[in-house]
Amino acid sequence: MSKPAATQYPSLDGVQRILAVSSCKGGVGKSTTAINTALALSRYGLRVGVLDADIYGPSLPTLVRPEETTLYQSEEGLIQPLEALGLKLMSFGWIDPEQQRGAAILRGPMVSQVVSQLATRVAWGELDYLIIDFPPGTGDIQLTLTQQLPIDAAVIVTTPQNLSFVDVVKGIQMFDTVKVPTVAVVENMSYFQCGSCGEKQRIFGEGAREKLVQQFGFQHTFELPLDPRLSKSGDEGMPLVAELPDDPVSQIYYQIAEKAHGEINRLLQDNPGTPTLSYNVGQNCELTYPDGRIVEIPPFELRFACRCAACVSEYTGEQLVKREELDPDVYPTEILPVGQYAASVKWSDEHRSSIYPYDYLQEKFDISE
């Protein structure tokens, strides 16, 4: 497994894979899918944690009921996750039951910061999977979260009535921009299965599933029925996969888990790995790939290549900072990875907002290709 090297967050170092469960809108069954998929993964013998990142409406404390909900801090200052049904768990709902009200006044950038902080301040320990139940939507909050956390893959949940094809594509594209592949699309409440004849009644009409398969060649799509037992079991703190593990509907969650797991493993194996950007005093900056390939970049050129809004006009693409305005001896004072796709650099000239996607650097500076 070629999981990229340790992240900037020690609490996530023992976490093998991070899977985001996301949806365009609230109330489509994202949390129900997240917890049942997490339970399905854990029934395959994998060690699984769930982070309920939905600060506006935390639902994990309703879906599962740990016996002990007092939070303890470890010696390193990390929060010990709660445990139930074999899963490690964390939610804003346990940190501050009043959080929901407070969240209304948090602005977007603060929300993503607070969520990232929670994700990285929990003592997750060794996990095969950390499932992050994302806040609903495909806006700035979700994009920033995807940039800040080293997420490996996403599952998008939708319903036929809410879903337009465009919404799912928007979700896939949001993750794509930061190199997070969507490994499954789940159409929830897709049909109602008649108890006597077994016929699938598509009360909300056909969803976008077929179109996704046809237009994107997207193989991993799943449909889940509208099933009152799913809401009842969720409301009672015993999700369906835990309550009725052999039920045909539980089997669909095993299929989602199995396909997502297979796809993520394939991607991690194929992935040449994330490069690292580094700087040794007095030398060139180096973009080093796990296969040993190195792209050398003079610090001045890297500084000049900054694409932030202060350096390049967002509207016209015009270069705002001129070569002659920059310190010829400028050098990085701090380099940190951003998600799996970029590095952020702080500079000796006090410039702090440089974010360099690795692809951009490779295209611009790799003369070997």
The residues that touch ligand ADP, with contacts defined as CB under 6 A, are: 23, 26-32, 59, 188-189, 224, 226-227, 230-231, 234
In the complex with ligand ADP, the residue whose CB is nearer, 129 or 134, is 134
d(CA 317, CA 304): 14
Residue 32 Cβ vs ligand ADP, minimum distance, rounded to whole Å: 3
Tokens of 363: 């295209």
User: What's CA 297's distance to the chain center, in Å?
Assistant: 30
For residue 10, the minimal CB distance to ligand ADP (Å) is 30
Tokens 């997420």 map to which residue?
Answer: 151
Smallest separation (angstroms) from ligand ADP to the CB of 33: 7
Shortest spacing between CB 192 and ligand ADP, in angstroms: 9
Q: Least distance from C-beta 139 to ligand ADP, angstroms?
A: 16
Cα separation, 12 vs 124, whole angstroms = 7
The residue among 32 and 91 lying less far from ligand ADP, judged by its C-beta, is 32
Residue nearer to ligand ADP on the CB measure, 7 or 188: 188
CB of 257 to ligand ADP, least distance (A): 16
Q: How many residues does the chain have?
A: 369
Two tokens at 212? 């996704």
Residue closer to ligand ADP (CB basis): 30 or 88? 30
Contact (Cβ atoms closer than 8 angstroms) between residue 176 and residue 203: no
Residue 14 backbone phi and psi in degrees, to 5: -90, 5
Shortest distance (Å) from residue 23 CB to ligand ADP: 5
DSSP codes of every residue in 111-165: HHHHHHHHHHTB---SEEEEEEEPPSSSSHHHHHHHHHS---EEEEEE-TTT--H
Nearer to ligand ADP, 29 or 81 (CB): 29
The phi, psi pair for 218, rounded to 5°, reads -80, 110
- Which of residues 222 and 356 has its CB atom nearest to ligand ADP in the complex? 222
Which of 186, 341, 352, 363 shows the shortest CA–CA distance to 260? 186
Question: Which residues neighbour 116 within 8 Å (Cβ) at sequence distance 6 or greater?
Answer: 145, 148, 149
Q: What's the rounded Cα separation, in Å, for the pair 65 and 62?
A: 7
Nearer to ligand ADP by Cβ, of 148 and 188: the residue is: 188
- Please identify, using beta-carbon distances, which residue of 133 and 263 lies nearer to ligand ADP: 133
Please give the structure tokens belonging to residue 189. 């409440």
Q: Whole-angstrom Cα distance, residue 184 to residue 182?
A: 6
Q: How far is the CB of 191 from ligand ADP (least distance, A)?
A: 10
Cα separations (Å) of 291 from 2, 34, 288? 11, 35, 8
